[in-house]
């Protein structure tokens, strides 16, 4: 069976990647893809690799990586317009590969007319959707939608679309790429983004930077531009008002560097948005536990179905309780380490992309 994935990568990651790989543009398409995937950014590369292991003929499209996509077009003598190269090259890749299954991530710019046009070259279209989307999003071209948001699954089924609930997973290959015995020299971390959709996250992090020694890594932590009215004068010099969030941020980390930060953390903090309506199960839970770190997670109605509280994960019901537990585990690091080890055992046993690929294969066979 042939399966083709389409995803995009965060522009901040790509900017960092290009600067660290000045020879990237000179490589062949296959070497470019190999170099990108070696960074272990996002999860589609792991899924692509596992579907190959399952015996699928798999092709991965990372639609917004300009040098990669244009190199494929050059090697395959594909003509495209500069104004629309992303969709035109991706379309050509789909038309050339003619997959049995076209699997599109939540890349909503490619839904609607693009998906309708490529569907004639695909036997089945599958999508993963667990992020907020506009009600006007066209979904009728999709044969199966996977999601880690139960309400989404229910609503898709009511719309007459086949849908299945699946949790994210951990890429176990990471354990061969990082030093799993590194000292836990970061007492408390948070790794993730800071944007308008992160309502609960912003509230929690603002509280924790005031109450704890939490260190932040991620994107979007930018110091605000202050008008003259908000500038304070000290010894005839201008200084912007103090921003605790920005002061706590240690910069962006991606791929393997992100996993290294998680692994070095004694405790890493996690919180879900209201989209899940009291349930939990985001990517961070499996990334952190996979590298053997204790995650301090907001409690959820389904949490005990995923990890055993107090043994494989620690939970909080309020931010005040989170602060109390942070203090306790920092003062009892051996207990945090024990929970992290238990969590890793559980994740490697139940929540890897090897398991994910087998489950996905079962759903695809039903199509």
Same structural domain, 255 and 286: yes
On whether both 189 and 206 belong to a single domain, the answer is yes
287 & 143 share domain? no
Return the CATH number at 250: 3.40.50.2000
Residues 249 and 176 in one domain: yes
What integer is the mean pLDDT of 331-359? 98
Is 153's pLDDT higher than 90? Answer: yes
CA-based nearest residue to 273, from 338, 179, 195: 195
Read off the pLDDT of residues 305-321 as tens digits, 9 standing for 90 and up.
999 999 999 999 999 99
Q: Are residues 229 and 362 in the same domain?
A: no
C-beta of residue 163 within 8 angstroms of C-beta of residue 153:
yes
Helix (H, G, I), strand (E, B) or coil at 234: strand
CATH number, domain with residue 49: 3.40.50
pLDDT at 298: 97
Work out the mean pLDDT of the chain and round it to a whole number.
93
Q: Are residues 106 and 207 in the same domain?
A: no
Q: What are phi and psi of 153, to 5 degrees?
A: -60, -45
Give tens-digit pLDDT for 14-69: 999 999 999 999 999 999 999 999 999 989 999 999 999 999 999 999 999 999 99
Q: Same domain for 146 and 187?
A: no
The count of domains in the chain is 2
Q: Are residues 314 and 356 in the same domain?
A: no
Instruction: State yes or no: pLDDT of 340 exceeds 50.
Output: yes
Of 213, 214, 204, 215, residue with least CA distance to 320: 204
Mean pLDDT value across residues 86-96: 98
pLDDT of the residue at 344: 98
Domain that holds residue 33: 2-169+352-366
Cα distances (angstroms) measured from residue 189 to each of 57, 186, 215: 39, 7, 5
The pLDDT of residue 222 = 66
Q: Answer yes or no: do 208 and 104 share one domain.
A: no
Same domain, 32 and 160: yes
Does residue 232 sit in the same domain as residue 88? no
DSSP 19-56: HH-TTGGGS-HHHHHHHHHTT--SSHHHHHHHHHHTT-
Shared domain check, 248 and 340? yes
Place of tokens 């969590």: 343
CA proximity to 49, closest of 178, 171, 176: 171
**pLDDT tens by residue, 214-262:** 999 988 876 544 344 444 444 444 445 578 888 899 999 999 999 999 9
């Amino acid at each position: 069976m042939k399966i083709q994935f389409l995803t995009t990568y965060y522009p901040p990651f790509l900017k960092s990647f290009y600067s660290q790989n000045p020879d990237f543009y000179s490589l062949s398409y296959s070497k470019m893809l190999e170099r990108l995937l070696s960074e272990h950014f996002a999860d589609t590369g792991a899924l692509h690799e596992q579907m190959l292991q399952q015996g699928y003929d798999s092709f991965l499209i990372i639609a917004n990586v300009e040098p990669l996509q244009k190199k494929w077009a050059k090697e395959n003598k594909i003509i495209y317009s500069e104004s629309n190269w992303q969709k035109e090259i991706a379309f050509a890749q789909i038309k050339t590969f003619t997959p049995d299954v076209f699997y599109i991530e939540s890349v909503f710019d490619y839904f609607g007319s693009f998906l309708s046009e490529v569907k004639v070259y695909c036997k089945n279209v599958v999508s993963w959707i667990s992020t907020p989307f506009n009600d006007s999003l066209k979904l009728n071209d999709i044969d199966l939608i996977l999601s880690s948001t139960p309400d989404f699954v229910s609503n898709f089924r009511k719309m007459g679309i086949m849908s299945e609930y699946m949790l994210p997973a951990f890429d176990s290959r990471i354990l061969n790429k990082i030093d799993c015995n590194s000292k836990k020299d970061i007492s408390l971390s948070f790794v993730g983004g800071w944007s308008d959709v992160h309502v609960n996250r912003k509230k929690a992090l603002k509280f924790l930077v005031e109450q704890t020694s939490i260190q932040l890594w991620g994107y979007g932590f930018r110091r605000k531009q202050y008008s003259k009215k908000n500038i304070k004068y000290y010894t005839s010099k201008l200084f912007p008002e103090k921003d605790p969030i920005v002061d706590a941020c240690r910069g962006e980390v991606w791929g393997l560097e992100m996993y290294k930060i998680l692994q070095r953390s004694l405790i890493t903090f996690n919180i879900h948005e209201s989209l899940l309506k009291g349930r939990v199960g985001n990517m961070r839970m499996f990334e952190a536990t996979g590298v053997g770190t204790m995650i301090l997670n907001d409690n959820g109605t389904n949490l005990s179905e995923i990890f055993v509280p107090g043994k494989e994960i620690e939970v909080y019901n309020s931010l005040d309780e989170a602060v109390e537990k942070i203090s306790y585990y920092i003062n009892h690091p051996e207990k945090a380490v024990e929970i992290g080890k238990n969590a890793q055992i559980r994740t490697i046993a139940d929540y890897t992309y090897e398991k994910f690929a087998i489950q996905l294969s079962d759903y695809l066979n039903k199509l």
